[in-house]
């Protein structure tokens, strides 16, 4: 495998039945990276981005126990056990401008050939990853007649992502929804409330006990 294996992946969608499957998928994606990759990690609150990142770090050879959401620090930098690859994990949830990223050396990380950059909430800082980022999007969902709950993951190469920006799928009903809809990523307020109702009903759950740090993590709140 070469340095650009991640950028050569075929766009795909999968259903991940639980947190373990999400972590395993992340590990699979991490193993494709050799350095220089840019990944846009998208998903609603609680969609499993941190779980994915733990698996992704493991696939890179980074200690997954050190991975947490960098919501307040903006960036976490992790070295692999061999030192030949570095993971920069960013979270733009609280950012208001691209300048805030630039002030902490963002461009330097993007240009480093041994660094893999993953940015959560990239929509907060459009253009931060350039035009060649692979997009990985996590969404709550269910499959089958029994409505088995889990999450869908959609992985898009840069070309496929550009083509899909105008028309994506509602995580509640799978209906096509434009990204400029006020209820995006849901097609309507009704679907957004239905998804919220699943949380209140206990249909969605986390895979481990809540820790104090989780209360400040927007990906788990």
Residue 145 reports pLDDT greater than 90: no
Same domain, 117 and 183: no
Give the Cβ contact number of residue 184 at 10 Å. 14
The answer to whether the CB of 117 falls within 8 A of the CB of 39 is: yes
Q: What is the pLDDT confidence band of residue 218, given thresholds at 50, 70 and 90?
A: very low
Same domain, 154 and 173: no
DSSP 19: H
For 38-92, the pLDDT digits (tens) are 999 999 888 899 999 999 999 999 999 999 988 889 999 999 888 889 999 999 9
Same domain, 109 and 183: no
Number of domains in the chain: 2
The answer to whether the CB of 22 falls within 8 A of the CB of 141 is: no
Of 146 and 205, which is predicted with more confidence? 146
The answer to whether the CB of 209 falls within 8 A of the CB of 33 is: no
For 78-122, the pLDDT digits (tens) are 998 888 899 999 999 999 889 999 999 999 999 999 999 999 999
Full-prediction pTM beyond 0.85?
no
Same domain, 173 and 156: no
Distance of CA 48 to the CA centre of its chain: 8
Average pLDDT, the chain: 80
- pLDDT value at position 132? 84
User: Which range marks the domain in which residue 179 is found?
Assistant: 166-205
Q: What is the pLDDT confidence band of residue 194, given thresholds at 50, 70 and 90?
A: confident
Same domain, 93 and 175: no
Complete DSSP assignment for 33-71: --S--EEEEEE-TTSSHHHHHHHHHHHHT--GGG----T
- pLDDT value at position 2? 43
- pLDDT value at position 77? 95
Give domain status of residue 215, yes or no: no
- pLDDT value at position 157? 77
Residue 136 reports pLDDT greater than 90: yes
Q: What is the pLDDT confidence band of residue 140, given thresholds at 50, 70 and 90?
A: confident
Task: Give me the CATH number covering residue 171.
Answer: 3.30.50.10
Same domain, 131 and 111: yes
The answer to whether the CB of 186 falls within 8 A of the CB of 195 is: yes
Q: Which long-range contacts (CB under 8 A, 24 or more apart) does 205-214 make?
A: 206/19, 206/46, 207/18, 207/19, 207/20, 207/51, 208/19, 213/68
* CA proximity to 16, closest of 26, 31, 7, 8: 26
Look at strands 38-43 and 134-143 and give their pairing: parallel
Give the Cβ contact number of residue 146 at 10 Å. 7
Same domain, 99 and 149: yes
Give domain status of residue 221, yes or no: no
Same domain, 187 and 113: no
């Amino acid at each position: 495998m070469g340095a650009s294996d991640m950028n050569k992946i075929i766009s795909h969608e999968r259903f991940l039945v639980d947190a373990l499957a999400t972590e395993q998928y992340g590990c699979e994606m991490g193993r494709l990276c050799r350095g220089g990759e840019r990944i846009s990690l998208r998903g609603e609150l609680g969609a499993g981005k941190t779980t994915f990142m733990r698996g992704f770090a493991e696939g890179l050879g980074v200690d997954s126990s050190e991975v947490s959401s960098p919501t307040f620090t903006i960036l976490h930098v992790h070295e692999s056990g061999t030192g030949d690859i570095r993971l920069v994990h960013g979270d733009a949830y609280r950012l208001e401008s691209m300048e805030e990223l630039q002030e902490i050396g963002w461009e330097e990380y993007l240009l480093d050939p041994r660094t893999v950059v993953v940015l959560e909430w990239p929509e907060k800082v459009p253009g931060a990853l350039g035009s060649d980022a692979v997009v990985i999007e996590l969404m709550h969902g269910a499959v089958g007649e029994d409505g088995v709950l889990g999450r869908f993951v959609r992985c898009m190469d840069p070309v496929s992502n550009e083509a899909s920006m105008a028309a994506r799928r509602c995580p509640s009903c799978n209906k096509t929804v434009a990204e400029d809809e006020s209820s995006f990523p849901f097609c309507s307020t009704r679907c957004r409330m239905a998804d919220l109702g699943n949380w209140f009903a206990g249909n969605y759950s986390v895979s481990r006990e809540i820790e104090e740090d989780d209360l400040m993590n927007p990906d788990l709140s």
